[in-house]
Amino acid sequence: MTPEADPVELVGREPDERLLSDDLAQLPDSVGRPEEPAESASRRRLVGIGATLTGVTLLGGIALAALGVIAALSSGFSLAAIGALAIGLLLVGTHWGWVHVAEASADALDARRNRALLVRRRRWLSSIEPYTRWEVTTSPGEDGSITILTTRHRPVRTGAGAFTFVREIIAREVHSGEEPAAAVAERAELLRREAAAETTRERERYDAVNATYRQALLAHDDEQQRLAALRATSEALSEGINANLRDPPLTE
């Protein structure tokens, strides 16, 4: 089994943006889920317009290119034939651009419309702390059995000073439908308590390291302020001395 993450390696890191999308399933249910923006009608319209323009541009480009080829073969490579061929090929080569323009426009509209929701999603993301969580869940089988799963959600480092989680199934117990329901429920409750105890232990480990880290930051800030005050005092003293040196000397 993979060892637990060292809090020292994770403290001070920020949750990875992937936890809002690709890595969301790696998170335990206990942290909740962010609000999901609803697809707007304006986005569907813009995407539809982009798809339509893409098709029109492609067909138009093919038609122009074919017209240019026909004109060149029938009456030689005139300026009109070359121009039609060149424009047709340009349209064919760039017809997918309408899709990207439509997507970018729709994303910009959604960002403005969902500005408050995006702020709430960012706030939810920033509330996630990098310590291991343990969870116990049950699922029924078609044969009447009950499976008890113990899952570990372990934080791991990613690039640029961030972290995400890895979901690992630690234990799987299958109880037949013939077992007493009370016994299965008691077993599940025992495992749930053990998982809660492990989670509490990991959180306490992280909190202890995080408190030390925050104190070090405050001490660093205080030292920076002290040095800034000393620099300001030295600069003022130096300016006063230089001002006196620039004055003409006293004559007796």
Helix residue ranges per DSSP H, the chain: 7-10, 41-75, 79-94, 97-113, 115-126, 181-246
Position 97 confidence tier, pLDDT thresholds 50, 70, 90: confident
Distance (Å, rounded) from C-alpha 210 to C-alpha 169? Answer: 27
Mean pLDDT of 88-110: 75
What is the average pLDDT across 25-46? Answer: 81
- What is the spatial distance between Cα 218 and Cα 201, in angstroms, rounded to a whole number? 26
Q: How far is CA 128 from CA 23, 121, 154, in A?
A: 13, 12, 13
CA distance 25 to 32: 11
pLDDT score recorded for residue 252:
42
The per-residue pLDDT for 39 is: 64
Q: What is the pLDDT of residue 197?
A: 95
Q: Decide: helix, strand or coil at residue 15.
A: strand
What was the pLDDT predicted at 247?
Answer: 57
Q: Are 153 and 120 in contact (CB under 8 A)?
A: no
Yes or no: say if 152 and 134 are a contact pair by the CB < 8 Å rule. yes
User: Is the confidence at residue 208, as pLDDT, over 60?
Assistant: yes
pLDDT of residue 162: 94
CB of 132 within 8 A of CB of 1?
A: no
φ and ψ of 247, to 5 deg:
-70, 150
Query: Do 192 and 47 contact (CB within 8 A), yes or no?
Result: no
Q: What percent of the chain has pLDDT over 90?
A: 37
DSSP bridge pairs for 150: 136, 171
Contact (Cβ atoms closer than 8 angstroms) between residue 149 and residue 166: no
